[in-house]
Amino acid sequence: MARFYSFTTSIGDSSVQAILNVQSDIRSTLDTLERQVHSLAAQWLGSESEEYQDLIHKWNSGAEGIRSQLTIVVSGLNQFSDGNTELRTSIGSRIGSMR
């Protein structure tokens, strides 16, 4: 029995947009959390301040790692979209030349 895979551009585009929306929400949440965490700096004194600085450094590093991964996801989505367009254009051209 033959099996085939069907993929429409509209489904691909809507999926990409949904992922980009979630990514935007994650970035926004990270920015909000970062502002809140940094606003606590004035409340830490003495040795607590050193611990806070260590935690803030870890937070910044982790948040930057997440942002980096989100950028990679966007790049992958763009490549996916471009590849889909190129494939469909090529197939359309071949079918057109057969007529």
pLDDT (mean) for 34-42: 83
Model confidence at 42: pLDDT above 80: no
Which of 2 and 77 is assigned the larger pLDDT?
77
Provide the pLDDT for residue 17.
87
Distance, in Å, from the CA atom of 61 to the CA atom of 92, rounded to the nearest integer, reads 47
Cα radius of gyration (the chain): 23
Write the pLDDT tens digit of every residue in 46-58: 888 888 888 888 9
Domain positions in the chain are 9-98
Which pLDDT band, with edges at 50, 70 and 90, does 20 fall under?
A: confident
Q: How many CB atoms lie within 10 A of CB 97?
A: 7
- Identify the CATH number of the domain defined by range 9-98: 1.10.287
Give the per-residue pLDDT at 65. Answer: 93
